[in-house]
Amino acid sequence: MERAQSWLSDQYDAETQEQVRAMLEGNPNELIDSFYRTLEFGTGGLRGIMGAGTNRMNRYTVAMATQGFANYIKMKFADRKELRVAIAYDGRNNSPAFANVTADVMTANGITVFLFDALCPTPELSFAVREMQCQAGVMITASHNPKEYNGYKAYWEDGGQIISPHDKNIIAEVNKITDPSMVNFQRRPELIVSLSEDFDKLYLDRVMGLSLSLDLIQKHRHLGIVYTPIHGTGRRLVPEILKMKGFDNVSTVASQMTVDGNFPTVKSPNPEEPAAMALAIEQAKSQDADLVMATDPDADRVGIAVKDEKGDFVLLNGNQAACLFLYYLLKRWKELGKLTGKEYVVKTIVTTELLSEIARKFEVKHYDVLTGFKYIASKILELEDRQHFIGGGEESYGYLAGDFVRDKDAVIATSLFAEAAAWAAEQGKTLYQVLKDIYTEFGLYKEKLVSITKKGISGTEEINAMMARFRNTPPTEIAGSKIIEIRDYKKQEAKCIGNGAITPISLPKSDVLQFFTADGTKVSVRPSGTEPKIKFYFGVKGEIGNDLDKALLALDEKLVNVEKEICS
């Protein structure tokens, strides 16, 4: 109540005061959720519902976070004569306004700002941080969250999202900014440098440099591709890179090419959800296309649909797409004689173990990192100048090749998925048939993600209680198979159930539990860092046999049983 009352002072605009007054007078639940805490930097910086309040995304919380971030930048780089920050935004409601508030505060603190003059993909912001030799970056986006949300992704000088200790240190500085009166809002226009379409070209030229099969694209340039940006930032750069590569039969979903923060054609702008790709698949069927691709609003994630042997479109999950992505990269690197023994790939701990098997086959080093692409970026930084990063992926539809971007990149990914389709066509195959070849060679893997939403204060308490239960009384078997290993990333230890041996885990502490069974089943449990959810990642293993559809159905049935046991 005290926090809410303080927002009725003259330092807040009239519209904000009116929203707070309405909550005080007649909406106690909304009042509590809006003011019970200060929006914090999590695994993706700030992210929250837009509106008035300390726990909401608005110009004041953005400004106060930026002042704290600016203070930290000035402290960490006190020896630099010039400090630089890149700022970009997506097409969500209020994104341009939040980007400009961020630019106001950064320049008011004497920091040069490279501000995009139009909406751009998140990975291009990561590229800009490195290319313009910035000390930090800010991307205003809530990625694939519902329309009510917006966010503030903070990047460090390597182009990756902030990780420990910077994340904790930044929030400590942000927490010192307890009132808008502590924020310097006085914009200094002379410190703003605009990034325009010329910078887009620089970025796209680097993406082109990752190509491995331009000759094959020329032979299969008529490959039918349907693409949708789902009202987001991929609307210009994805069609442009496909055109640059030589594909001349690319169509877009017209109703979803408009930039609209309300995402009017979908319930959720998330390519992980089948409904978000429905219009694109419908169009692909009518055009007899070969490949469907959809990017989320900030164009860092990509969803893929491919034709099966019956000619029907099949939606690939993030694990399947990641396997195709890295298999193509490794296969082509080997075919082109580019493998020298110093290359590596990276995946997150909750992503399919099939990626590890593929890397072993090509004798390429692979690394596991914590959930979140920022940890893949951290691994690239750690191994810079010593080993060569080929690519990486995570089950949540994020993929990257090359190291000039340090975040998942749907512009790069769409261009390489299309390229892989042309490479497959040269062999008389579809991407679906290539996936089947992978299963035949390495074994059949199937995964499923279950997210349970728990909103508000009570929801946070419920999630904490669930994690405590799994940690204190873990299951002894899953779907009839005994658990042989438990990994607790909060305790940073792996326990062998057979002999009780404890092995240290070298990754940073994280509230994640993993259970491995004798038959290859893997269950991972963790609270989300960006949403009020607890997430369960289920993975099972089998053999393809003579009938892929039948084998997949058997694994689907097993996944249902695993979910019932764990989530009940």
- The set of catalytic residues is 143
Surface-to-core class of residue 45, CB atoms within 10 Å of its CB (0-12 exposed, 13-18 middle, 19+ buried):
buried
Judge whether 83 and 111 are in contact, CB under 8 Å. Answer: yes
User: What is the C-alpha to C-alpha distance for residues 495 and 175, in angstroms, rounded to an integer?
Assistant: 38
- Cα Dmax for the chain: 73
Beta pairing partners, 139 = 88, 153
Q: Which of 444, 338, 348 is nearest to 388 (CA)?
A: 338
User: What is the C-alpha to C-alpha distance for residues 99 and 380, in angstroms, rounded to an integer?
Assistant: 28
Residues composing the chain: 568
Beta strands (DSSP E) in 473-512 are: 477-478, 481-488, 493-496, 502-504
Query: What letters, b where the CB count within 10 A reaches 16 and e where it falls short, cover 536-560?
Result: bbbbbbbebeeebeebeebbeebbe
Contacts of 468 (CB under 8 A, 6+ apart): none
Q: Residue 396 gets which letter from DSSP?
A: T
Contacts of 557 (CB under 8 A, 6+ apart): none
Judge whether 6 and 34 are in contact, CB under 8 Å. Answer: no
Residues 474, 478, 481, 485, Cα dihedral to 10°: -40
Q: Which of 154, 206, 412 is nearest to 301 (CA)?
A: 412
Return the sign of the alpha-carbon dihedral for residues 67, 69, 72, 78. Answer: negative
User: What is the C-alpha to C-alpha distance for residues 252 and 478, in angstroms, rounded to an integer?
Assistant: 44
Report the half-sphere exposure of 241 (CA within 13 A, side-chain side): 28
Q: Which of 259, 324, 313 is nearest to 283 (CA)?
A: 313
